[in-house]
Amino acid sequence: PYYVSIHEDLFLEASLHSSDPLLKLFLHTCVASPTGHNSTTGVHTIIKDGCVKDPTYAEFYSPNRHTLRFKFNAFQSIRSNPVAYLQCELVVCRAFDYSSRCYQGCVRRSKREANSDL
């Protein structure tokens, strides 16, 4: 466990351990929830489909494509729970493949497309 106070900035780093210099990381989705399960109850969305949902989120420079560095304000919307679990989905792409998910950035799904998943 990592202990932080509410409204304290939480700094994170995700790294891909690979000898291939032509791989790139992309933060696709990141949520904080009161349980370690894939629940939607009480979830605070930080990033969804590559789109920033938490105004306190900021990405920082990294010297290589294998590492992502970012921060956000510690779980503002889950303050009633003493514990929060961070769950992030990252995508690995070929560097300089501009048609890959890593280079598309924020992708907003249409309501019609979202409803078709039901």
In a domain, 116, yes or no: no
In a domain, 75, yes or no: yes
CATH number at residue 76: 2.60.40.4100
Query: Do the beta carbons of residue 11 and residue 66 sit within 8 Å?
Result: no
* pTM for the whole structure: 0.79
Tell me the pLDDT of the chain (118 aa) as tens digits.
777 777 788 899 999 999 898 999 999 999 988 877 766 667 889 999 999 999 999 999 998 889 999 999 876 555 567 778 889 999 999 999 999 999 999 988 765 555 554 4
In a domain, 74, yes or no: yes
Contacts with 83 (C-beta within 8 Å, 6 or more apart), sequence order: 1, 34
The pLDDT value recorded for residue 86 is 87
CA–CA–CA angle 70, 76, 79 (5° rounding): 135
Q: Residue 91 is part of which domain span?
A: 8-96
In a domain, 25, yes or no: yes
